[in-house]
Amino acid sequence: MKVNVHAVNFAVDGKLVGYVQERMDKLEKYYDKVVSSDVYLKVEKTSDKENKVVEVKMNVPGDDFMVKKQCKTFEEAIELSAVSLERLLVKRKEKLRTHI
């Protein structure tokens, strides 16, 4: 799957990009028709500790899934986003299976 990582208002290091790619690739075992994913990493300017925002837009034939999570670290936010996407992909696969 093609994963595009967009860092908004900061420079992202290769280790984080690698982590995002690895975690998004694991989602293919739940639904293999995923075309691509756009991952937006943002740092919000707030006094709150949970200022790291991850938005994932996943392109699936006939649909787009959008998940947004805000946490203390990007890794935690990516993990929570991936878990939400797993649920969405499994639900989508089950829905398609009932129509066939």
Q: In tens digits, what is the pLDDT along the chain, a chain of 100 residues?
A: 899 999 988 889 999 999 999 999 999 898 888 899 999 999 988 778 889 999 999 998 888 999 999 999 999 999 999 999 999 999 988 888 887 6
Distances, alpha carbon 52 to alpha carbons 17, 39, 76, 77, 89, in Å: 15, 13, 9, 7, 24
What pLDDT was estimated at residue 53? 94
What residues contact residue 79 under an 8 Å CB cut-off, 6+ apart? Answer: 23
**This prediction's pTM:** 0.88
What pLDDT was estimated at residue 65? 93
